[in-house]
Amino acid sequence: MSVTLQVDLPAALIEEARKSGLLESERLAELLHEELRRQGTRKDLGRTPHELRFLPGEWRTTEEIQAEMDIEMADRQERERSR
């Protein structure tokens, strides 16, 4: 399914985006997908320290939580690269 999208943007921005190939459907889809992924990651990272700190078991330091987050982010990046 596809949808036609109409947006109101400044002419200078449109011209620069057109020259850079950013207005092509495939490129716009890539940009939107990447931004949605980033938003999801930011949302996850905002929740993760709180959720990790209150899991049953030993209390975790900020450094331990950060280490777990780093591992998770590396795993996600590896999955993205293998797509």
Q: How high is the pLDDT of residue 80?
A: 86
Q: How high is the pLDDT of residue 12?
A: 96
Residue 4 maps to a domain: no
Q: For the chain, what percent of residues have pLDDT higher than 70? A: 81
Print the domain residue range for 46: 11-81
| Residue 59, pLDDT above cutoff 80 | no
* Helix, strand, coil abundance in the chain, percent, nearest 5: 70, 0, 30
Residue 5 maps to a domain: no
pLDDT band at 10 (very low <50, low <70, confident <90, very high): very high
Domains: count for the chain: 1
| 52 touches 66 (CB < 8 A) | no
Q: How high is the pLDDT of residue 23?
A: 93
pLDDT band at 9 (very low <50, low <70, confident <90, very high): very high
CA distance 70 to 41: 12
Phi, psi dihedral angles at 9 (to 5 degrees): -130, 155
| Residue 13, pLDDT above cutoff 80 | yes
Phi, psi dihedral angles at 60 (to 5 degrees): -110, 140
CA distance 60 to 73: 18
